[in-house]
Amino acid sequence: MNTINVRMEIPGPRSLQALQKQLRQESTAVSYPKRLPISLEAGKGCYVQDVDGNVFIDFLSGAGSLPLGHSHPELVGEVIEQADKLCIGLDFPTPAKESFIDAHLSMLPEEIRNAYLIHFCGPTGADAVEAAIKLAKVATGADEIISFRGGYHGCTNGALSLTGNRAMKKNVLGKMPGVHFFPFGSTSTSAASAVLNSNQIDAALLLESALEDANSGLGNVAAIVLELVQGEGGVYIADKGFIERVYQLARKFGILLIVDEIQTGCGRTGTWYAFEQYGIEPDIFVTSKGTSGIGLPCALMFYKKSLAPWPAGSHIGTFRGNQFAFIAGSKAIDVINRDAILHNVCERSEQIRVRLAELQHDFALLGEIRCLGLMIGVEILNPVTGKACDVTASKIQKRALRRGLIAELGGRDDTVLRMLPPLNVSPQCVNEALNVLERVLFEQTNAIEEIH
Ligand SMILES: Cc1ncc(COP(=O)(O)O)c(C=O)c1O
């Protein structure tokens, strides 16, 4: 399984059968297979095989949870060995957990390594966000939260309340009160999407004026919550100046800064954590997708020791002691260090950016390209209007699948083609994926021309 091999229309017969069965048996809220209609059988590295034997490049990577690709052999070896020893350990210390903690702390910049405590959360990212909200409220005695337009923080009640996507929240009554949304200061200058961009607005000034204004309607703000790259929101990269000012405002007004590194963490942006690139020290940060390296659930909250202690049992959950995730996660960090994989992230990011820029030159379907490390987003445009276009984006995603590339959509109305390759992706695999994209853009351009 080391090259694309798609021999039939997608879905193939066995996938179709599985998808039909899924429709009968599973919740109507099933999501990915509606856009990517395949049934998965196996994965190895950057490639995944469906039940019909078709092989695809997988640049969805378990929604970013496979930093070393599918079933990395060294991580699998560790997991198999662990299975015979101990599977779950609640929040007791165990050898696997101890080495995992040491490895995770070693990822922090030296000067702040001793400043944080780690809280093991229920295994999803959303639970880590819940823990962060709760801790911020307990530590400050305040209860309001500032969040940002375009942000995504998960589907539990508090996390959803902080999320920008209005369609996801529609008809969900009883969301967490006291959340205020502000525009996100990003590096984007795109005029194609509905996002306010940094040419149009000084996002930090708006936030500052609300915090200064006695009549702004804000109550007691416990925390500012943000992503440094809004992943699901369409790969909007936070502007450095914006983050510096938000950081200063948080300090000035005694508000805690919570950085959601669930998607950006564990090397995805080229540094272990994205906040390192912004020169800030969050009061709290959360991470989960990349922690085990192999897609096993494990969510972490790091918080400053200086925050008031919260009592035993303040945020518990049965599945916080996944020994497989711990043992695989420690090994993943060893492998990333040993194989200089963060360096690879930067090199492949540049390879992708350059090639996408060439494609953007050749195809009017491509708008702004946004990359930080291996978080990659490309605006898909209607070539006639020059506006972001969900219909074209969906067609490109489907055509890419048919040609052997799994990519995701995100952003406003799903108009951004997103790619989250494994961090150890090879230059050859990147090339193969972008050759597919080029072919697909060519086909889609011709299809549009035929219509006109
Ligand atoms: C930035 C961010 N926060 C939170 C979450 C929620 O994580 P989970 O799906 O594991 O609950 C996600 C998931 O995509 C995310 O990207």
Residue recorded with tokens 């969906």: 394
Q: What is the arithmetic mean of pLDDT over 126-139? A: 98
Among residues of the chain, what percentage have pLDDT more than 70? 100
Atom of ligand 1 nearest to the CA of 261: 1
CA dihedral 357, 371, 422, 361 (to 10 degrees): -10
Count the neighbouring beta carbons within 10 Å of the beta carbon of residue 208: 17
Cβ distance 221 to 145 under 8 Å?
A: yes
Cβ distance 70 to 44 under 8 Å?
A: yes
Give the model's pLDDT for residue 451.
Answer: 67
**Site residues for ligand 1, CB cut-off 6 Å:** 63, 124-126, 129, 152-154, 227, 231-232, 260, 262-263, 288
For Cα atoms 293, 298, 302, give the angle at the middle one, nearest 5 degrees.
Answer: 105
Give the model's pLDDT for residue 200.
Answer: 80
| 126 CA → ligand 1 middle, Å | 6
Is the pLDDT assigned to residue 168 strictly greater than 90?
yes
Give the model's pLDDT for residue 206.
Answer: 96
Give the model's pLDDT for residue 192.
Answer: 84
| 12 CA → ligand 1 middle, Å | 31
Condensed to tens digits (0 to 9), the pLDDT of residues 284-319 reads: 999 999 999 999 999 999 999 999 888 999 999 999
Strand partners, 219: none
Strand partners, 45: 70
Give the model's pLDDT for residue 194.
Answer: 77
Phi first, then psi, for residue 238 (nearest 5°) are -65, 140
Average pLDDT, the chain: 96
| 152 CA → ligand 1 middle, Å | 7
The DSSP H or E segment spanning 103 is: helix 95-106
CB neighbour list of residue 275: distance below 8 Å, 6 or more residues apart = 228, 259, 261, 281, 282, 285
| 261 CA → ligand 1 middle, Å | 9
For Cα atoms 98, 103, 108, give the angle at the middle one, nearest 5 degrees.
Answer: 125
Half-sphere exposure of 445 (CA within 13 A, CB side): 14
Atom of ligand 1 nearest to the CA of 159: 4
Q: Residue whose CA is closest, atom 16 of ligand 1? A: 263
Residue recorded with tokens 């690709």: 69
Cβ distance 126 to 154 under 8 Å?
A: yes
Residue recorded with tokens 């609640």: 90
Distance CA 60, CA 41 (A): 16
Q: Residue whose CA is closest, atom 2 of ligand 1? A: 153
| 52 CA → ligand 1 middle, Å | 30
- Report H helices in 292-411: 323-338, 341-362, 390-403
Distance CA 157, CA 51 (A): 35
Instruction: Sketch the domain layout of the chain as residue ranges.
Output: 13-72+340-451, 74-338
Q: Which of 152, 228, 266, 420 maximizes ligand 1 atoms within 8 Å of its Cβ, making it the mutation to test the pocket?
A: 152
Q: Which of 235, 289, 375 maximizes ligand 1 atoms within 8 Å of its Cβ, making it the mutation to test the pocket?
A: 289
Fold for the domain defined by 74-338? Aspartate Aminotransferase; domain 2 (3.40.640)
Give the model's pLDDT for residue 452.
Answer: 64
| 37 CA → ligand 1 middle, Å | 22
Q: CATH 3.90.1150.10: does it fit domain 13-72+340-451?
A: yes
